[in-house]
Amino acid sequence: MRSVCAGLLVLSSWVCAACADAPRSWVRVARDPNYDIFLDTARIFHRVDGTVEVYYRTIHAAPRLHKDQEFDREIVRSIVDCKRTWFKVAAVDMTLGEQRLVARQRTDEFELAQQPWRRIGEGSTEQMAAEAACHFAERRMQTRLDAALK
């Protein structure tokens, strides 16, 4: 069992390293007075457990604080369970503007597996973003299935 877990960890690390340089295609999927949320439609991945890995970019209307440092943008790698509309956070980069990195948080696959699922609030902006992620993921899967059947 440990060798399987180690293999999955190596594979997931390789996938994450490979997708770090992937082209980005941001689409706005949610907005409220406090922030805009974009989904990177070029980096949507179906995971073996039936969940979806997605990247969100959040632009805050006003700067926020993280350990006494201001940031106004986040890029979040999130795992979304589309059947239950729950999520986990795998990685976050916080920046001030496009340039200055304020904080970087990462979890490995073991930590991610231990992280509890978080419920997405009904009617929230986060729900709109998660539903859009699931919609784009389903479309991507259908496109791949159609191509495989041709």
For 43, what's the count of Cα atoms within 13 Å in the CB-facing half-sphere? 25
118 in a structural domain: yes
Give the tens place of pLDDT for each residue, 32-43: 999 999 999 999
- How many domains does the chain divide into? 1
Q: Which CATH number is 123's domain given?
A: 2.40.128.710
Three-class HEC string of 79-119: EEECCCCEEEEEEEEEEECCCEEEEEEECCHHHHHHCCCEE
Q: Give pTM, 2 decimals.
A: 0.78
What is the span of the domain harbouring residue 94?
23-149
Assign 51 to helix, strand or coil: coil
- List the beta bridge partners of residue 89: 78
Answer yes or no: is 13 within a domain: no
pLDDT of residue 9: 36
pLDDT below 50 — which residues of the chain? Answer: 1-22
Q: Is 39 domain-assigned?
A: yes
For residue 37, the model assigns a pLDDT of 95
The whole-number pLDDT of residue 20 equals 46
